[in-house]
Amino acid sequence: MSVNPFLDPARREELYGHASRLVGRSSALMRAKVAGDPVPDTVVRLVRAHHGERAGRLGLVVDIGCGRGTSSRVLAEQLCPSRLVGLDAAPALITEARKRVGRIRGVQMCFLQGDFHRMPIPDSSCGLAVAAFCLYHSPRPADAIAEIARVLRPDGLAVLVTKALDSYREMDALAAAAGLDPRAERHESLYVAAHSGNLVDLAKPNLDVLAAEHEEHRFTFDGHDHAAEYLATNPKYDLAPGLYGNPGALAASLHEFVPDRPITTGSVITYVVARPRGARS
């Protein structure tokens, strides 16, 4: 059995050595999105709902797995912490985040390369820790959550975000039907380490879970050219040489083997809100 791409150290440079794969996949998904609230906005809503008046006194916020800084900017602009640290394991993404986010008035911004199993953050120092779409990149997500618990203040809050195991299954069916990867529907989910079905249980040993919300996001790709932008940047598939990272060539294969049509797919997004064990509400 092949190793899950998100958990395979041998593929780390391929997946995270530069920003283009993430940019291509994210761009294709966002252009296809037809339902579901923006994830950073939902995180802000949950923080305000559970922190109440304290939401204006967050102090230090850490955005774990910050990627290109999209969520970091929203958290900084809408929650106005005194300081925000964006943390990611990929130096290329940290460089991209620094360029894209820039300065935000009243907030000290800092982007750091680091391992979220050993964050360069002092004990009990964070008013808020956000870990969105990153825990399933860890073979030990419970250890990463324990590290989140370590850095939270006693009155701090954690918001953990992940996806369902069967996310985008219609894209798997398309890849199989076109012969791009006959086993596409049988590969292990990319999100197996931390998904909608196990995230609460992963959090419970180190955090008190306050709430879990699930929201379905829907996406409609307008045809093969659009779908190829997603498929060609998805490491889940075993593609023929020349197709991975090459949307044009992959689109040509789709056009050759299956009729062109829009394709709708989806993903359930799960938000878990938690606080340090034993903290007062």
The CA-atom distances, in angstroms, between 134 and each of 67, 88, 145, 191, 236 are: 9, 9, 11, 10, 16
Whether 12 has a pLDDT exceeding 80, the answer reads: no
Composition of the chain by helix, strand, coil, percent to 5: 40, 25, 35
Q: Are 131 and 158 in contact (CB under 8 A)?
A: yes
Query: Sorting pLDDT into bands at 50, 70 and 90, what band is 53?
Result: low
Q: Are 113 and 44 in contact (CB under 8 A)?
A: no
What is the rounded distance in angstroms from the CA atom of residue 87 to the CA atom of residue 62? 7
CA dihedral of residues 242, 190, 270, 279 (deg, nearest 10): -130
Which helix (H) or strand (E) is 80 found in, with range? none
| Averaged pLDDT of the chain | 92
- pLDDT tens digits, 55-66: 668 999 999 999
Range list of β-strands (E), the chain: 33-35, 60-64, 83-88, 108-113, 126-132, 152-163, 207-221, 263-276
What is the rounded distance in angstroms from the CA atom of residue 79 to the CA atom of residue 124? 20
Whether 223 has a pLDDT exceeding 50, the answer reads: yes
If you average pLDDT over residues 97-108, what whole number do you get? Answer: 91
Judge if pTM exceeds 0.85.
yes
Question: Would you say the C-alpha torsion 201, 207, 212, 218 has a positive or negative sign?
Answer: negative
If you average pLDDT over residues 180-191, what whole number do you get? Answer: 95
Enumerate residues 6+ apart whose C-beta is below 8 A from 172.
Answer: 184, 185, 187, 236
Whether 234 has a pLDDT exceeding 80, the answer reads: yes
What pLDDT score does 51 carry? 85
What pLDDT score does 1 carry? 44
If you average pLDDT over residues 110-116, what whole number do you get? Answer: 94
What pLDDT score does 280 carry? 55
What pLDDT score does 269 carry? 98
Q: Are 97 and 69 in contact (CB under 8 A)?
A: yes
If you average pLDDT over residues 197-218, what whole number do you get? Answer: 98
Structure tokens at 91: 């130096």
Whether 95 has a pLDDT exceeding 80, the answer reads: yes
If you average pLDDT over residues 219-236, what whole number do you get? Answer: 94
Question: Would you say the C-alpha torsion 110, 116, 121, 124 has a positive or negative sign?
Answer: positive
Q: Are 190 and 5 in contact (CB under 8 A)?
A: yes
Fold that domain 5-167+189-221+262-276 belongs to in CATH: Rossmann fold (3.40.50)
Domain ranges (residues) in the chain? 5-167+189-221+262-276
